[in-house]
Amino acid sequence: MTDPFASARLGPVTLRNRIIKSATFEGVVPSALVTPELIEFHQRVAAGGAGMTTVAYLAVAPEGRTHAACIWLRPAAVPGLARLAAAVHARGAAISGQIGHAGPVANAASNGAPALGAVRSFNPMSMRATRACTETDIDRIVGDHAHGARLLKEAGFDAIEIHLAHNYLASAFLSPRFNTRRDAYGGSLENRARFARRIVRAVRDEIGTQVALTAKVSLHDGVPGGLRPPESTEFARMLEADGALDALELTGGSSLANPMYLFRGDAPRADFARVLPPLRRLAFRMFGKRFMPAYPFAEAYFRDMALTVRAAVKMPLILLGGINRLDTIQRAMAEGFQFVAMGRALLREPDLIARMQAGEATSGNCVHCNRCMVSIYSGSRCVLDHPAPIVAGEPVA
Ligand SMILES: Cc1cc2nc3c(=O)[nH]c(=O)nc-3n(C[C@H](O)[C@H](O)[C@H](O)COP(=O)(O)O)c2cc1C
């Protein structure tokens, strides 16, 4: 049986084991640049035994940020990112950066720029209209991804993960629910996938073959009329045929319309209402239950859908979603997944992997209360263990 703790190849890169810390937005970059707290966050994960840590959401353009306190990839960010990469490497882990464009998920008010979508729509959470991308926008944003990826390569990152999920921009284009365009980017799956495939190709062409390239893709949007199997499986086949990626990380849900589908477990509605400005808080009180229904937690909750993709493609796959136990990791290997990714379990216990490897733990302590979701506004952490906010310092030079 494949040993999850043995080293493994991810494209051109060797990871010390098969466990990847998934992107969990760290919430410690108020000036959109790397801070000591961001470095500390990833140092802890690296020292805790994961094979690779993923620096969460790095926008490729200013209007593609989820909100203003989010790094966007520009030359000024490179020195800090290089410091971050070196700190992770010093603790034996590899480092990946998640790049993307938030599209309709972007907070337009905070960014001071309209959010972009596949089509024009109204976002009740930001109380603003989302503008439809023109073909000029699409061409520019494809180039922005390539440019952002090049900056991460310059900073010494081992891998790049393209965010093609959760109804961020590329995923909104993929979704029949959020894309009713009538041009070459709407209609058939082939057309809806065109934008994402152009991004992947452009990034690979830009970074060459020495940096690993993965994509986070949705199995199911979790919203009526959204992307779901078998289309998501067909999309995985397209990406495999394109040959530009080293692995796919499988996820689901919609940050736009159904975030709890991503997570399962308790819906932290009260915490969430507290961080909203008054008008949006009122709207959330009215529609919050619809926007944030709770789904029962189950270990490895995307496994069944992920197995369908496993049967359809040969390329390496990363299983994600509710992985908390060592036997789940081992079963994932036995079922043909090359890697697993873990988010909340390592947010709570960054040293869980080292302890599992040493035979000191067989499962994590995360209880899926999901209150960490809301902690992104005050420094992402397990609020059960660390109730106090994290105050981020000045950016590192
Ligand atoms: C606090 C927090 C922040 C997150 N931020 C991101 C993000 O920036 N990008 C992303 O793709 N997923 C993000 N996620 C989702 C995780 O990467 C992962 O898909 C999800 O938590 C399910 O995996 P898990 O059950 O191992 O936690 C976030 C999750 C949490 C809890």
* Residue 373 alpha carbon to ligand 1 centre in Å: 8
Percentages (nearest 5) of helix, strand, coil residues in the chain: 40, 15, 45
Set out the domains of the chain in order of their start, with CATH numbers.
8-377 (3.20.20.70)
Atom of ligand 1 nearest to the CA of 163: 11
Q: Return the residue whose CA atom lies nearest to atom 13 of ligand 1.
A: 24
Q: What is the pLDDT of residues 377-387, one digit of tens each?
A: 999 999 999 99
Task: Using the predicted structure, report yes or no on whether residue 33 has a pLDDT greater than 80.
Answer: yes
Amino acid, single-letter form, for residue 26? E
Would the CB of 22 count as within 6 Å of ligand 1? yes
381 lines ligand 1 (CB under 6 A): no
For a pocket test of ligand 1, which of 19, 21, 25 has the largest count of ligand atoms closer than 8 A to its C-beta?
25
Instruction: Measure the CA–CA gap between 368 and 372, rounded to whole angstroms.
Output: 9
Which two tokens mark 107? 């907070």
pLDDT digits (tens, 9 = 90+) for 385-394: 999 999 999 9
Region 222-230 average pLDDT: 97
Instruction: Take atom 8 of ligand 1 and give the residue whose Cα is closest.
Output: 25
Does the beta carbon of 216 lie inside 6 Å of ligand 1? Answer: yes
Cβ neighbours of 238 (radius 10 Å): 16
380 CB under 6 A from ligand 1?
yes
pLDDT of residue 306: 98
Per-residue pLDDT at 243 exceeds 80: yes
Order across the sheet with 121-123: list the strands: 116-117, 128-132, 121-123
User: pLDDT digits over 64-103, tens only?
Assistant: 999 999 999 999 999 999 999 999 999 999 999 999 999 9
> How confident is the model at residue 125, as a pLDDT?
67
> Active-site residue 261, yes or no?
no
Q: Tell me what pLDDT residue 230 has.
A: 97
pLDDT in tens, 284-337: 888 888 888 989 999 999 999 999 999 999 999 999 999 999 999 999 999 999
Q: Say if ligand 1 is within 6 A of residue 97 CB.
A: no
Per-residue pLDDT reduced to its tens digit, 125-182: 677 899 999 999 999 999 999 999 999 999 999 999 999 999 999 999 999 999 999 9
Nearest to 165 by CA among 87, 85, 227, 114: 227
Nearest-5° Cα angle at 272, 271 to 276: 120
Helices 194-207 and 135-154: crossing angle in degrees, nearest 10, is 30
Residue 264 has φ and ψ, to the nearest 5°, of 65, 165
The Cα–Cα gap between 167 and 152 comes to: 23
**Per-residue confidence (pLDDT) for residue 116, from 0 to 100:** 98
Q: Is 59 in the pocket of ligand 1 (CB under 6 A)?
A: no
> Residue 92: left if φ>0, alpha if ψ -120 to 50, beta else—which one?
left
Q: What is the pLDDT of residue 282?
A: 84
